[in-house]
Structure 1
Amino acid sequence: MSSVLLMLSCTDLEEETFGSLSPDNFYNTEEEALASVVGIYQQLSYVQSIGDPWRIAEFGTDEFIVPGRASGGWFDQNNIDIIKHQVEATNATTGRAWKNIFQEIGTSNAVLESLQESPNSENLSALIAEARALRAYGYFYAMDFWGNVPLVTVARIDPNELPKTTPRAEIFNFIESELLSALDDMPSVNEVNRSDYYPRFTKESIYSLLAMMYLNAEVYTGTPQWQKAVDMCEVVINSGAFNLSNQVVDNFASNIQGSSSELISAFTNDPNNNAGNNQFILYAQNALDQLKYNLPFVPANGYSTYQEALDRYADNDARKDLLEYGPQTYLNGDPLLKDNGEQLVLIAVQDLVSAEDNEGYKVLKYTPIGASFSGYDADNDYVLTRYADILLTKAEALYRIDNNSTIALDLVNEVRERSNAGEILDLSLDILEDERAREFIWEGHRRRDMIRFESYFNETWAFKTTQTEAYRGIYPIPQEQITANPSLTQNPGY
């Protein structure tokens, strides 16, 4: 971890020191510098784990719900307010997410400053580019969630010159510029030993983020950039480095460690060596899944999905097998029985604040089959970007340019064929949105997708029963941040 002082959030003036080294006596070698860059990856991985940034990317959508339980567990009014699209500036969940994301940005700023001031900086250009890309990724999430955020690129903030809120479109331009600049010094996946270099970012990681940004450019800036999204996808496709895995679940299994040809970006977990952990199984599964999967712990029965999400899948779609619903069985087909001898039957959530233990369908995104556990921590790597996203991003952008595009239709069917989902003959925006929902359930895309397709505002589903005002497409800046820094301006409507 870097020796410089890190900001815990961009407006929190409390500082924390990591060691006593300085740029003058550190980073003499690439290995020393890489040790600090790894710290940024660790911060960013939390955004894609079960932490609050991932939660606020999924809460409020029609694929993620955490009901309070009749037993008294899991009730949190902050989460319920997000589910119902009633978030206010005092929401504790979004407040923690802000701190998480700006801690990653602050860590990036500190590491970048040390890299650039190192006497060996001229030999660290690739790592400097990598750190800039990681910081840009943090700002992408900040821009996506809060829109107008402070733009800070220094490790220490002058308390007499606290940062102001920067408009969302300017944040977009900053991220784009940083990513394009980083490309010059970062390697392509074809230029490294893929297994040894995994899971560090490559050029293809950056092109993939740019594609995602351009796909949402109209939301972020008011101006669509569909062709740019297509162009970025084509660079990744033309690299020839990626293809679809045999099954979706292959990308979320234990010990993939760079062996998946579909993963473009991911974060490694190895709890047995105190190097990251995956707690999706702990948080999501029903308690009786301890018996079903022979787990060394009792799952907490928290994260669940809706009837609406289940109903999107046809019975022959292999992706439906990743959801647990209805009568439950052991892996050998025998009934999974409760203490009273009755079979466990999972049903849709009926009560948002006092649900019974069998309410809530489960998403087995990170499979426990074959996983190694340390306590309740699994070693499944967190997935950030998959090749399937590149194919569907290109398909959507092409369709929005020309709704008669046969290439767009072929790309969607390529993804569907992998899961035996059946061929579709015509495309529409509704079909494109639903296909993304089926393919990327619980991967952090759904809120962003629903906002782009406007279903976030116009549609209703269980517990979200009214249309949503347009201003709620971004979250309010947490009140504690505005209290700490009055220079910030609250987002409109809040």
Structure 2
Amino acid sequence: MKMKKIMNFNKLAILFLVMLVAMSSCTKDLDITPQDDQDLLGEDFFATETAYKQLLAGVYANLSLTGVDGPGSSNIDGLDAGTSQFGRVLLYLQTLSADEMIWSYENDPGTREIQRNIWNADDPIILGMFGRTNVTIAFANNFLRETTDEKLASRNVSDATKAEIVKYRAEARLLRAMSYYYMMDLFGKANFTTEADAINAQPAAYNRQQLFDYVESELKAIEGDLADPKTNEHGRADKGVAWMILAKIYLNAEVYIGQAKYTECIDYCKKIIGGGYSLATNYLHNFMADNNTNSANNEIIFPLISDGTYVQNYGPTTVMINGSVGSLELNGAPLGVSAGGWGGALRLRKQFVQLFDASIFNNDSRNTIIKGSRPIDILDISDRDQGYILEKYSNATSTGGFGVDQTFVDTDFPLFRLADVYLMYIEAHLRGGAGASPADAVSYINAIRTRANNPQNNLTIGDLTLDFILDERARELHWEAHRRQDLIRYGRFTGGSYNWAWKGNGTNGIALPAHMNLYPIPSASLASNPNLTQNPGY
């Protein structure tokens, strides 16, 4: 059963933990800090030592679930599940805002503004991301407060459980650091609290340099306490996840702190590559309902869990699979959802489609674009018959079956995977990082191309340019919540050097001002924390 993916807990245990910790958090104004942690987490809760693993499960569950009353509920006051599920809002802010995806139903709160690049500080999706990451931070802080040496000693916790809690604490710290990483990337600043802060204290506001320094030092500090790569339970973090976040911050360090750290990026890419991961035998295995057990299990470094029975959510894979059913094609059955799906909710922008124009991509397994008789241009976003559709994600299994539910899919979202590491290694080498092997760089790109059944799989180092890698990242990693970050690193998200359909609310795209490389701090968050200031331009 797929529920084994969430640390072997049943549904009630997970929902109970989400409810328990959520109710001990102040969410009304999205200044997410725990209230008195003994109001609900009294000593009775810790009467059995399994409570500590359950409490950790609540931290993880916040990455997939939004509330305690089913997939449509939300434990963040004032936000619904569709604008506060972590993976979904991450997908919107990193992908819907760029050149790969269009969402048809612009009456859905916030989507019109995100995909047309006309957002402001009151956008509910932006607020959802800011709030949800703060919830993870609050949950992690709460876990760390409950697992100090003093509290464990007072509860007479066994030495065996104490040894496990060392690893649990490292995982909680990693999830907190990952939250700060995304805040640094998307907002450039964040409310900052740790378990050392007094409960209900006014959070400090950290800028990008402070967040970078914290994430870097925190991940290095916990490395020794994390499980080795691929030795933890599915869905739990290990050393590979810490290395991946470090590689990401180093690849983007020029954006974040104005310093090149490509050598450091290469160093951590090499650690990941040496961690026992391997490319899935089939590209599409990464995006199927059994990607926790098929060959993708060796490639995916960290998933966001989805399960049609126990972890139902309106997260990124549920959205993308139902949304990939075309208004004309009614192709839901092969994808493992209802035949009509969500009636053409998602389509492709022209510029992404054109990355697969060359004939060498005709049989490339990454090319799941369906053209039919559709026009390539989307001149009216509400016309669901305009623009091509994509069948990358599915609720089907690699063995011919389907997920258990025709709406809420079993497909985990691959937040981090090995192919991305290969491409980061190559890019960091091309940008001047030391320590990479040109022969390895060529080997990695050709492995990606070979796995994709692309006939151009004998590239040489001379073929590898930064522009090529940017395009290859889109072909390999589209709809995986990387594109905005990539375009910013290449200087092509704002400005007018590269325009795409509906960029800046122009049919053919217009230039964006530079301040839009960061999202605004939500108005509600500014109101709740006077230490925060708005980003320039908003």
Where does residue 309 of structure 1 map in the other structure?
Answer: 352
Q: Does the 8 A contact of 1:310 with 1:320 survive in 2?
A: no
The answer for the alignment partner of 1:289 in structure 2 is: 331
Amino acid in the other structure paired with 1:36: L
Q: Secondary structure at the match of 2:277?
A: coil
Equivalence map 1:99-248=2 (5 Å): 99-116=131-148, 117-119=151-153, 120=157, 122-123=162-163, 124-154=165-195, 161-189=201-229, 192=231, 197-239=233-275, 241-248=276-283
TM-score (norm 2): 0.79
Q: Map 1:264-343 to 2 at 5 A.
A: 264-274=301-311, 278-279=317-318, 280-287=320-327, 288-290=330-332, 293=335, 295-296=337-338, 298-300=340-342, 301-313=344-356, 314-317=358-361, 318-319=363-364, 322-327=367-372
Letter in 2 for 1:52: V
Match of 1:416 in 2: 449
Compared with structure 1, are the counterparts of its residues 212 and 289 closer, same or farther at alpha carbon in structure 2 (3 Å cutoff)? same
Q: 1:412 is paired with a residue of what secondary structure?
A: helix
Pick closer, same or farther for the CA change 1:493–1:381 going to 2, 3 Å: same
Matches of 1:210 and 1:146, distance apart in 2? 18
| Correspondent of 1:367 among 372, 394, 404 | 394
Distance 1:11 1:267, change over 3 A: closer
Q: Indicate whether 1:382 and 2:406 are aligned.
A: no
SS of 1:374 mapped into structure 2: coil
Question: 1:493 maps to which residue?
Answer: 537
Alpha-carbon distance in structure 2 between the residues aligned to 1:250 and 1:48 = 24
Q: Deviations over 1:197-238 (max 9, x none)?
A: 212111112111111111111111111110111011111122
Letter in 2 for 1:89: A
Q: CA offset at residue 179 of structure 1? A: 1.0
TM-score (norm. length: structure 1) = 0.85
Q: Which residue of 2 aligns with 1:38?
A: 57
> What's the counterpart of residue 256 of structure 1?
291
- Aligned in 2, Cα 1:24/1:86: closer, same or farther, shift over 3 Å? same
Summarize the alignment of residues 436-455 of structure 1 with structure 2, pairs less than 5 Å apart: 436-455=473-492
**Percent identity for Structure 1 against Structure 2:** 26
Residues 278-314 of structure 1: CA deviation (Å, up to 9, x unaligned) = 4132233224123555734631121222121111124
- CA–CA separation in structure 1 for the residues paired with 2:32 and 2:341: 38
Residues 303 and 414, structure 2, Cα contact 8 Å, conserved in 1? yes
Contact 1:9/1:99, CA 8 A, preserved across alignment: no
User: C-alpha separation between the residues in 1 aligned to 2:172 and 2:513?
Assistant: 37
Q: 1:362 to 1:405 in 2, by over 3 A?
A: same
How many Å separate the matches in 2 of 1:203 and 1:48?
25
**CA distance 1:94–1:13, change in 2 (3 Å):** closer
Q: 1:109: how far off?
A: 1.5
Tell me the residue number matched to 1:8. 27
Partner AA of 1:346 in structure 2: R
Query: Does the Cα contact within 8 Å between 1:45 and 1:382 map onto a contact in 2?
Result: no
- Structure 1 pair 261/353, CA: closer, same or farther in 2 (3 Å)? closer
Distance change in 2, residues 1:250/1:14 (3 Å): closer
Once the two structures are TM-superposed, the CA of residue 81 in structure 1 deviates from its matched residue by 2.6
Partner residue of 1:483? Answer: 527
For each residue in 1:436-475, what CA deviation from the matched residue of structure 2 results, as whole angstroms up to 9, or x when unmatched? 1110000011111111011112310111222222221110
Q: Between 203-212 and 370-379, report the one with greater CA deviation.
A: 370-379
- Cα distance in structure 1, aligned partners of 2:214 and 2:380: 40
Mind listing any 5+ residue stretches in structure 1 that lack a counterpart?
68-72, 328-344
Q: Determine the C-alpha separation between the residues in 2 that align with 1:309 and 1:492.
A: 30
RMSD: 2.9
Q: CA deviation at 1:100?
A: 1.7
Structure 1 residues 453 and 485: alpha-carbon distance in aligned structure 2, compared to 1, 3 A threshold: same
Alignment of 1:462-481 (within 5 A): 462-464=501-503, 465-481=509-525
Q: CA deviation at 1:51?
A: 2.1
**Higher alpha-carbon deviation: 88-97 or 6-15:** 6-15
Aligned length: 465
1:41 is matched by which residue type in structure 2?
Answer: Y
Q: Matches of 1:16 and 1:299 in 2, distance apart? A: 41
8 Å Cα contact 2:526/2:534 also seen in 1:
yes
Residue type of the alignment partner of 1:302? A
Task: Give a deviation string over 1:42-101, Cα, whole Å, max 9, x none.
Answer: 21246886522321111221112213xxxxx44357323322332221222211221122
Q: Please, which runs of 5 or more residues in structure 2 have no aligned partner?
A: 1-16, 66-83, 504-508
Q: Could you tell me how far apart the structure 2 residues matched to 1:179 and 1:460 are?
A: 37
Inter-partner Cα distance in structure 2 for 1:132 and 1:77:
32
For 1:136, the aligned partner's letter is A
Alignment match, 2:13 = none
Partner residue in 2 for 1:427: 464
Partner of 2:7: none
Q: Distance in 2 between matches of 1:362 and 1:395?
A: 30
Answering whether residue 422 of structure 2 is matched by residue 395 of structure 1, we say no
